[in-house]
Amino acid sequence: KTIGATYMVAAGLTPKAVYDGTDTDLDQYLCHICEFAFAMQECIKRINKHSFNNFQLRIGINHGSLVAGVIGATKPQYDIWGNTVNVASRMESTGKVGKIRLQRRAVCY
């Protein structure tokens, strides 16, 4: 999802009925989203090199529960809400360019 100049990504959005609550699942989702963040950084470097631009990324990663749904009657859009989303957004917006901010409790996994 894009919000202005922000690109919001969500990983591991599984219903509670599917999620078995093991740390293995959380580890897998966190690894995938971190790998995606590193890949985005490498991609932007290649784009800058070949297009003579200086695009820069700030990345914030958080994990936790959220609410998801479709909003809008004429132009329906899938969206996610909750403190998990808000914290990730704040981590990105206050982060340093070229760096990935990861919530401290995610490092324990």
Least confident span in 39-43, 44-48, 55-59:
55-59
pLDDT digits over 76-108, tens only? Answer: 988 888 998 888 888 888 889 888 888 776 665
Q: What is the DSSP string of 73-103?
A: SSS-EEEEESHHHHHHHHHHHTSPTT-EEE-
- State the chain's mean pLDDT as an integer: 82
What stretches of 1-109 adopt beta strand conformation (E)? 2-3, 6-7, 59-61, 67-71, 77-81, 100-102
Joined tokens for residue 3: 């919000």
Burial class (CB in 10 A: 0-12, 13-18, 19+), 80: middle
Q: How confident is the model at residue 109 (pLDDT cuts 50, 70, 90)?
A: very low
